[in-house]
Amino acid sequence: MNMIEVVDLCYRFADGTQALTEINMTVERGEFVVMAGPNGSGKTTFFRHLNGLLSPARGTVTIDGVDVQHDPVLARQRVGMVFQDVDMQIVGETVYDDVIFGPENLGLGRNEIERRANDVLIMVGLSDQRDRHPHQLSQGEKRRLAIAGILAMQPDVIVFDEPFTHLDDSGVCIVLEQMLKLHHGGITLLVATHDLEKVICYADRLVLINAGRIVEDGLPKMILPKVEKYGVRMPCALRMGKEVWPWLAH
């Protein structure tokens, strides 16, 4: 069964802005999908439908066979979302406190919460910072904390909304490594960005969105030559007629 199934999704904001028009898309379990489009093309609005933060005006979104509208809490547990602005995502008073926020809301037992929190803090490399105030962390650490808070809910899908915003080079590499680790662990990844260079080498699929419509969808090497038509910058190497290299030099 497909992990994500979006059928005929339309969405209009209260002020009349038509943000999404007839979106159709399926994502298989374990796929790594990059969604590219200029600012205002509808990436964030689309992602917010995947965990029920917005309700479609028309159409349906199903996660692993369950309609999001039917059970939004389940959708939020299964689809973790890393917001573009991490400061807005972090709600805990300490690093540890933020990680256990989701599991507590799911009503898990104390022992299970403690176990998950320890596991994910080790996974993202923040276990020695668990008692710090989140606002004392660096941008890269904050993003890892946001990821930890989501991983603690054991999602099947993680969506990253412009994950490289405000990150310096080492921050980008750390977050990218984290994404690859999740991908290899079998998690389905969706990444919204207008900056293809950093991720496109690792993606299975590239989806272009423009003015609320999906305009291209396919293998990255098939779609890349067309991106500039839709206001997305082509990776530099490609412009010079060369191949795009992995961003992480290993």
Partner 1 sequence: MAGALAFCFQPGESALHRFDPRLKTVSLLLLSPSIMASLPAGLAVFSFALVAFTGRAGLDWKAAVYNLRYFGFLLAAVFLSRAIFTPGKPVLVLGPVAFTDLGVFSGALFCWRLILVTTTGLIYAATTHSREIRAAVEWLLSPVPWIPEKRVGVMVGLVVRLIPMILDQAGKTISAQKARCVECRKNPYYRLTHFALPMLRQIIKRADQLALALAARCYNESGTPPAMIIRPVDWWGAGAVLVLCLIMIRAVFIP
Ligand X SMILES: Nc1ncnc2c1ncn2[C@@H]1O[C@H](COP(=O)(O)OP(=O)(O)O)[C@@H](O)[C@H]1O
Strand 66-67 and strand 58-63: pairing? antiparallel
Stretch that binds ligand X, among 35-43, 97-105, 118-126, 142-150 (CB under 6 A): 35-43
Residue pair 157/78 in contact (Cβ under 8 Å)? The answer is: yes
Contact call for residue 46 and partner 1 (CB under 8 A): no
CA distances for 216 relative to 34, 39, 185, angstroms: 12, 17, 28
Task: Verify binding: residue 73, partner 1, rule CB under 8 A.
Answer: yes
Give the one residue of 42, 102, 163, 171 binding ligand X; rule: CB under 6 A: 42
Task: Return the one option of Mg ion, partner 1, ligand X, none that residue 22 interacts with (CB less than 5 to 8 A, by type).
Answer: none
By CB atoms closer than 10 A (0-12, 13-18, 19+), residue 243 is exposed
User: Which of the listed partners (ligand X, Mg ion, partner 1, none) does 193 bind, with a CB threshold of 5 to 8 Å by partner kind?
Assistant: none
The C-alpha atoms of residue 133 and residue 131 are separated, in whole angstroms, by 7
Residue of the chain from 45, 89, 193, 210 that contacts partner 1 (CB under 8 A): 89
Rounded to a whole number of angstroms, the minimum distance from the CB of residue 192 to Mg ion is 7
* Closer of 153 and 227 to partner 1 (Cβ): 153
- Determine if 41 is a binding residue for ligand X (CB under 6 A): yes
39 sits near ligand X (criterion: CB under 6 A): yes
Backbone angles phi, psi at 218, to 5 degrees: 175, -165
